Structure 1
């Protein structure tokens, strides 16, 4: 799909750590035009999005908490608009529906959507013939880890997933860990078949169930950014896959790719690997 003019982009969750990084990245992309910055945090209302993101010069785009008026504004642009959403699990479902209703293509990094909500949004996007990308993790490295895990699962019958994030993350397990477990569960085998009668002396000691016997463990600590391990075990060997994020800039190539790709879609697509 040839773009004749820059892609209008609205960033929702603009004052958050990911939102600020997206603003910097979109502002520097030649084929994109930042047209709006949304955030509900009271102390950031009216602030310049560029200054808040740490750019050397203001963008003359004030932070506002008015999502629907901004979506309406973006829908009047010559080019189809995109909403990048890094907000909160409590609001992301309504944000996506609102964007689709205005003909704006959502690119969603917010996790916490239930399978039922994802299905409802997929149905809504289908009816509107509107592209939507829901991506638990924008890192190319994480996609590679997940692909390696799927390959390893053909040879190992025991696996555990450990995800570690900063203590400001609202949902657990992470969407990335859930997605990884789903990919392994699709292999059609039952993992971690017990060899003894197992008892948890403390509820949750062995993690939560991610399907087909796969267990997920969540860690929340200050000082962490985003990290995941997939640990496979077999007699006499352990195979560990690990991805560490030290800077949120690692997500930006994936975000830019998603903004460009979502314009070509007519339905909801889940996962970065689907557009690579």
Structure 2
């Protein structure tokens, strides 16, 4: 440990994203893994590096005790402020993030499913505590570029729908990325998809979920998928499709590492990877 290293807690350390984050943090000389949190009783006490697939142990045992770990890292005054990367579950992410802020630990949140009300509450709490917090629906640089291209296209197209595709272990739908994309399009100040006919759904939900400003989002959950999104614009005589596909979760790691470093500079909650690029 040194005064120039950022101590990191990975919450959800044994999940698919968590294991990749453990490996990514271990490679960076300015970061040090201080805690690995997981609920699974079968991994308690095992080395986080070995579970992640590293060739050598990190000497960081997996524990299910988040708050004691937050307190421990907060007490390491000889180091930079700690960061908690949360990749857990929508049911617990709000409490995790609030606890981290209370201990002065900076949250980097990759877990989706926070409601607008929860985001506002966490934003108020972070600002009062002068503690940085990053909520990132998608850590992929490619997805940020897709969203920017979609915003640019929205100036010229009045009809758009979003399709997001994920593995069948994802608990929330639609994805946080799809919701964020719809929000960005809605911020352009126009209403999309003016109804041409009176539609009737023969099966409820066939037309997808209705997001802001008339934008439809369709969610697909299948084994074999990781994370994918299409934004489809339509106009007379043409279709313009933007698509982003992930084939390996390593694509998220540059964004995760950037977020860990950048959250140190913040004093409030910031939403979206594009805000720190």
The aligned counterpart of 1:174 is 175
Q: What are the ranges of 5 or more consecutive residues in structure 1 without an aligned counterpart?
A: none
Residue 76 of structure 1 and its aligned partner are, at CA, apart by 1.4
The aligned counterpart of 1:252 is 253
Please list the CA deviations of residues 195-225 of structure 1 after superposition, one character each: whole Å capped at 9, or x if unmatched: 1111111111000011100000000000000
Q: Select between 194-203 and 262-271 the one with higher mean Cα deviation.
A: 194-203
The aligned counterpart of 1:100 is 101
Q: Within 5 A, what are the aligned runs for 1:110-259? A: 110-259=111-260
CA distance in structure 2 between the aligned counterparts of 1:195 and 1:24, rounded to whole angstroms: 51
The aligned counterpart of 2:30 is 31
Secondary structure of residue in 1 paired with 2:265: coil
Count of residue correspondences: 274
When normalised by structure 1's length, the TM-score is 0.98
Please list the CA deviations of residues 122-171 of structure 1 after superposition, one character each: whole Å capped at 9, or x if unmatched: 00001000000000000000000000000000100000000000000000
CA distance in structure 1 between the aligned counterparts of 2:41 and 2:113, rounded to whole angstroms: 24
Runs of at least 4 residues off by over 6 Å: none
Residue 46 of structure 1 and its aligned partner are, at CA, apart by 1.1
CA distance in structure 2 between the aligned counterparts of 1:59 and 1:148, rounded to whole angstroms: 41
Question: What's the C-alpha RMSD, in Å, of the aligned pairs?
Answer: 0.8
When normalised by structure 2's length, the TM-score is 0.98
Please list the CA deviations of residues 46-94 of structure 1 after superposition, one character each: whole Å capped at 9, or x if unmatched: 1110000000001111110000000001111221000000000000000
